[in-house]
Amino acid sequence: MSNHSPAPATYNKRPTATAYLCTLMVGVGAATFILQAVGTHPERAWQAYLINFLLFSAIAHGAVLFSTLMHTVHARWSGPLSDLAEAFTAFFPISFVLFLMLFLGHGYLFPWQGQDLHGKEPWLNLPFLFSRNALGLLTLYGLGLAYLYHALWFKISARGASGPLARYLQRRWQRRPPDSGRYRQRMNVLSILYMLAFSIVLSVLGFDLVMSMDPHWFSTLFGAYSFVKAIYVGFGALIFLAALLHLSPGNGFSLRPAQFHDIGKLFFAFGLVWADFFYAQLVVIWYGNIPEETAYVIERIMVAPWQGLAWTVFGVCFVAPFLILLNKKIKMVPAAMAVLCAVVIVGMWLEHFLLLGPIYHAHAGALPLGWTELLIALGFLGLLAGAVAAYLGQFPEVLAVRAEEGR
């Protein structure tokens, strides 16, 4: 239990230090992207943009999945964590706009344009690719926001409302009081539909925005690998945020050690699933020994400068979490879990760079990773953190939850 007692949640109209910091991060990232995009090597800016779009969108997708999953299985222990996970829906509209902006850089992002695709042209063409992905994201985000709308009614009706948006929803529901049983049934349906859309849309995004960049290589497991990876990083981001709030006095948010232990076990489990999917792809390709398949793997794990990065990703995203999380006590230490989850997320950013980097930097003598990539990533981090902070500012009641409260 936290050593501070929960404080009443109130809406603060003044910009906080978090808001100023996130604005600065976004400004630095945007300036770096624009300067690089109008410079002599615009492709570098767009490639960093794609990598960060994939990672930070996956974080939001996976974090929201936690709430829908816990609601579906009626897990009472996860109440405060589920409430916190729903804050990541605030990034959904931003993510959709960021996806649409990818079209501006299509000339630098899709190397298969103008190539002989050996019959894949009906699938790999820009109008169809952007149309299906936009439709998929709209469906996923629509389901996530509809689920949030119904979930907020239960929170606001039980805890009150102090933020402007929360008060607006409260007045709306007071004029036409919803039926709690019907809202609960809708949440059940929406949570299942979100998880179904999550698996389909994340698979298609993995096929279209990662695997297709090398159009002559394919893996039937790549879609599942993509959405399991999103769950892994999403749960990691949720643990990081929960630990950060738990350790910050005065905000009213606290969790019991057992709750940190339970979500730590889920994080550990999906880390194993991610590693298993990685291995399942690798071993089949290795034993099949088909040149067009093995070339993709060899280039990333046996050829400089990528082989060092591959081992780094393996160590940071699997070996270290596996060895550390075998210890039960570590899962109940918020500070330790925050550090570990942050390291895994950084490792997954490098994993995206490993998958896409050799395509865009085919003859790189050194690892093409510098300040441009780091500062653009900082901008995306600022967008995600700012969106979550804005949500928590509009619905501060989410934080004023005792650890004992269930869903």
Mean pLDDT of 80-95: 95
- The single residue listed with the structure tokens 């270290």 is 320
Average pLDDT over residues 72-91: 92
Q: What is the pLDDT of residues 122-159, one digit of tens each?
A: 899 999 999 999 999 999 999 999 999 999 988 888 77
Residue 10 lies in a domain: no
Domain that holds residue 125: 22-108+120-398
Angle at 62 between CA 61 and CA 63, to 5 degrees: 95
For the chain, what percentages of helix, strand and coil (3-state, to nearest 5) are there?
75, 0, 25
- Helix/strand/coil (H/E/C) assignment for every residue in 22-49: HHHHHHHHHHHHHHHHCCCCHHHHHHHH
Q: Are 216 and 197 in contact (CB under 8 A)?
A: no
Examine residue 391 and state whether it is found in any structural domain, yes or no: yes
Residue 115 domain-assigned? no
- For 175-204, give one letter per residue: b (16+ CB within 10 A) or e: eeeeeeeebeebbbebbbbbbebbbebbbb
Residue 175 inside a domain? The answer is yes
Task: Kindly report, residue by residue over 343-389, the tens digit of the pLDDT.
Answer: 999 999 999 999 998 888 877 778 888 899 999 999 999 999 999 99
Q: What's the pLDDT band for 406 if we cut at 50, 70, 90? A: very low
Supply 382's token pair: 């600022």
pLDDT band at residue 268 using 50, 70 and 90 as cut-offs: very high
- What total of structural domains would you count in the chain? 1
Alpha-carbon distances, residue 93 vs 44, 58, 90, 389 (angstroms): 25, 14, 7, 15
Dihedral over Cα of 338, 341, 347, 349: its sign? negative
Its pTM stands at: 0.93
Q: Is residue 114 part of a domain?
A: no
Q: Is residue 3 part of a domain?
A: no
Domain presence at residue 13: no
Closest CA to 56 of 233, 211, 205, 197: 233
What would the mean pLDDT of 325-345 be, rounded to a whole number? 95
Q: Cα 247 to the chain's mean position, in Å?
A: 23
